[in-house]
Structure 1
Amino acid sequence: SLQVDIVPSQGEISVGESKFFLCQVAGEAKFKDISWFSPNGERLSPNQQRISVVRNDDFSSTLTIYNANIDDAGIYKCVVSSQEEGDSEATVNVKIFQKLMFKNAPTPQEFKEGDDAVIVCDVVSSLPPTIIWKHKGRDVILKKDVRFIVLSNNYLQIRGIKKTDEGTYRCEGRILARGEINFKDIQVIVNVPPSVRARQSTMNATANLSQAVTLACDADGFPEPTVTWTKDGEPVEEVEDEDKYSFNYDGSELVIRKVDKSDEAEYICIAENKAGEADATIHLKVFAKPKITYVENKTAMELEDQITLTCEASGDPIPSITWRTSTRNISNEEKASWTRPEKQEV
């Protein structure tokens, strides 16, 4: 009788991989028909694209499975027929397995400082894998830090995540039965909400002296926050071809040029990043130098009992008004009296 062998005698193929099997015939029969049959008993046609059968010579034929999928699993049969010897056959059990793969394990994964972070790592495999999480080369569970918990779905939870927890975490899957191992490194980023403080909470300037004043605040956070400003709730922006406002490179300093009374306001610097925002308030007080807005000249007779001279002045704060002659000050005892804060009569 004919001796039929298939090499290799057993076959394991991972999903997506390819493998071939050689059917060999030993014997002296002159004519031999070599056929391959699929697990469902269907005769396989030669030269198909994905599951291919090729006759090599009088004594052998090759079955090739390309890009294997789970449905390809089963017992394949090689049947050799000859007029003298009849039929002989051999079988091979082809097993298809899913190698360890990471279906959903994005990197980086970002979290806000203080949150309960859950690092996602979905592992696909034919057999249930054992998942180990490592950080800085060590199993995180061996740290004995109660903040680190491996959840029932094999995700890693870090309670109250800190900036110091940032770094590379390894999601490692193992299949004991096959001695198979695979891993995915995941970069964990911890974002820190901004903090901001004004260098001075109150700033003073004097109007109409072509003065410039700088309002400044210092902001921290991760990622580095962007800083914007408002004046009494309205955005402060640089305007092209105008030099009223300008900012330094990171927006933390606002320069106001040619300060006048209209610049007096509550300014807020707002620091913002993807983790949140914070703000600080600076009050700008603009003083105005005293300015005499009205003075009345009068001519009096030498023996007149009383004469009234009027002087009006503006300024911030409200200016005090004193009177003097060319040689001396006039005192209150000489009947100088206020009629309103910015107007004095004598």
Structure 2
Amino acid sequence: MMPVNRDFSRCAALSLRILFVLAGSVHSQQGSDSRVMDNITVRQGETVLLRCEQGGAMTHTAWLNRSSILYAGNDKWSVDPRVSLVALNQMEFTIKIEDVDMMDEGQYICAVQTSSQPRTTSVHILVQVPPKIINLSRDIVVNEGSNVTLRCQASGKPEPSISWNYISNSGGLASEDEYLEITSISRQRAGTYECTAVNDIGKDVQTVDITVNYAPAVAEGRDVGVTLGQRGVLECEADAVPEADFEWYKDDRRIFNGLDGMEIVSTGSQSKLTFFNASESDFGNYTCVAINKLGNSNTSFLLYFQDGSGSAMAVHAHTCLFLIAFVSFLLHL
């Protein structure tokens, strides 16, 4: 017959005693003393101390969590490195749990076996958790007039409240719910939206960007006068998302960069048509067309002759003056 390990026997006997005490407290057996301490509220990540008064002729004592033994006297039964013994004497039996997490929430029981009767003291740990946004809509790109729904969900204890704020342009509260719905979105509502999750412990803030695509809108063209042989520039500006591509035309003929001494430079929302050495053939009507995938828009310009004194006249102004003089001569015949 194999010999029985003495330590194992003592361990088993102690386990039976502790569980007996626990069972006695649960079923309120006659002759046992059961006490309930106030709940302990602790924030996630903090340290909690569990104190149990001793007193009397103590024979065995233990701290248990959900019927699992954490400490039996000086002996640590828990494999959790966060749990440690602080004090064990005739006055108190105190253990410490560091870096508390949600899994530590629940009932803890101090079981004491004295010479007279078993005694249990129970306490419930409540763990508070700061908010954490766990489900957030991604940045989105939509066409103007579309319906948009943004979602923001957060965990935490107590349960966090959620709000949406529009932080671009004028800003302001957009919603007090985890969902933000924008019907028929306009270009003015593009920008950054901020989701805030708040509870008694803290808050978490994250943002979502909405890009609104819309067709180009071109600013009205401004006519330009230029002296022969001098430099002239026509400037075309378009508001569009995505940015517009530009095309230039003289009458119905498209102009390409680098031809006939002209240069086209387009950057961002602006396009410039430059004449480096204006000639009579350059004067006339021009059209700027701004195009993106949602549509196009255009505006017209007049490049006209301007003499050195700064007064503007058409390219063939001398012809007009000749005709006026000729008519005046005929009237005096």
Q: What TM-score, normalized by structure 1, do the two folds share?
A: 0.50
Which structure has the greater CA radius of gyration?
1
Identify the residue that residue 148 of structure 2 maps to in structure 1.
117
Contact 1:5 1:24 (C-alpha < 8 Å) held by counterparts: no
C-alpha deviation, 1:133, in angstroms: 5.6
Aligned residue among 2, 23, 32 for 2:51: 23
Question: Does the CA-based 8 Å contact 1:230-1:236 persist in structure 2?
Answer: no
Instruction: Give the structure 1 partner of residue 238 of structure 2.
Output: 219
Rounded to whole Å, the distance in 1 between the matches of 2:198 and 2:209 is 22
**2:111 matches 1:79:** yes
Q: How many residues align?
A: 259
AA aligned to 2:84 is V
Q: Is the 8 A contact 2:128 2:201 kept in 1?
A: no
Distance 2:172 2:212 in 1: 23
Structure 2: which 5+ residue stretches go unaligned? Answer: 1-30, 304-333
Q: Deviation string for 1:222-269 (max 9, x for gaps)?
A: 79x56655687897489xxxx85264876432213346889x998755
For 2:172 and 2:220, locate their aligned partners in 1 and report how far apart those are by CA, in whole Å: 43
**Do the aligned partners of residues 101 and 248 (structure 1) sit closer, same or farther apart at CA in structure 2, a change above 3 Å counting?**
closer
Could you say which residue in structure 1 is the equivalent of 2:62?
35
1:309-346 per-residue CA deviation (whole Å, 9 max, x = no partner) reads xxxxxxxxxxxxxxxxxxxxxxxxxxxxxxxxxxxxxx
Residue aligned with 2:103, SS? helix
What is the root-mean-square deviation of aligned Cα atoms in Å? 5.6
Distance change in 2, residues 1:186/1:110 (3 Å): farther
Which SS does the other structure have where 2:68 is aligned? coil
**CA distance in 1: counterparts of 2:266 and 2:140, whole angstroms:** 32
2:149 match: secondary structure? strand
Greater percentage in helix: 2
Deviation at 1:159, TM superposition (A): 0.8
**Which residue of the other structure, out of 140, 158, 180, is the alignment partner of 1:156?**
180
Over 3 Å counting, the alpha-carbon distance change for 1:118 and 1:284 in structure 2 is same
Residue pair 1:77, 1:91 contacting (<8 A) in 2 also: yes
Q: Show CA shifts across 1:289-314 (max 9, x none).
A: xxxxxxxxxxxxxxxxxxxxxxxxxx
42 and 27 in structure 1: CA distance in 2 versus 1, 3 angstrom threshold: closer
Residue pair 1:246, 1:256 contacting (<8 A) in 2 also: no
Are the counterparts in 1 of residues 236 and 288 from structure 2 also a CA contact under 8 Å? no
- The Cα of 1:217 is off from its aligned counterpart by 1.5
SS in 1 for 2:184: coil
Match of 1:54 among 46, 62, 85: 85
Report the CA distance shift for 1:235/1:96 in structure 2 as closer, same or farther (over 3 A): farther
Residue 270 of structure 1 aligns with which residue?
290
CA change 1:214–1:167 in 2 (3 A) is: closer
Q: Identify if the C-alpha distance between structure 1 residues 247 and 138 changes in structure 2 by more than 3 Å, giving closer, same or farther.
A: closer
In structure 1, what is the Cα distance between the partners aligned to 2:258 and 2:49?
Answer: 74
1:85-164 → structure 2 map (5 Å cutoff): 87-96=118-127, 99-105=130-136, 113-125=144-156, 154-162=178-186
Distance in 1 (alpha carbons) for counterparts of 2:262 and 2:105: 77
Mapped partners of 1:53, 1:11: distance in 2: 18
Q: How far apart, CA to CA, are the structure 1 residues paired with 2:48 and 2:254?
A: 74
Which whole-Å CA distance do the structure 2 matches of 1:33 and 1:233 have between them? 99
Partners of 1:139 and 1:162 lie apart in 2 by 15
* 8 Å Cα contact 2:46-2:99 kept in structure 1: yes
How many percent identity over aligned positions?
Answer: 17
Aligned pair 1:245/2:276, yes or no? Answer: no
Matches within 5 A, 1:167-186: 184=205
CA distance in 2, matches of 1:249, 1:133: 35
After TM superposition, list the pairs within 5 Å mapping 1:181-200 onto structure 2: 184=205, 191=212, 193=214, 194-197=216-219, 199=221
Letter of the 2:63 counterpart: W
1:33 Cα deviation from its structure 2 partner: 5.1
**Shift of residue 157 of structure 1?**
0.7
Partner of 1:325: none
Preserved contact between residue 147 and residue 182 of structure 2 (Cα < 8 Å) = yes
Normalising by structure 2, what TM-score?
A: 0.51
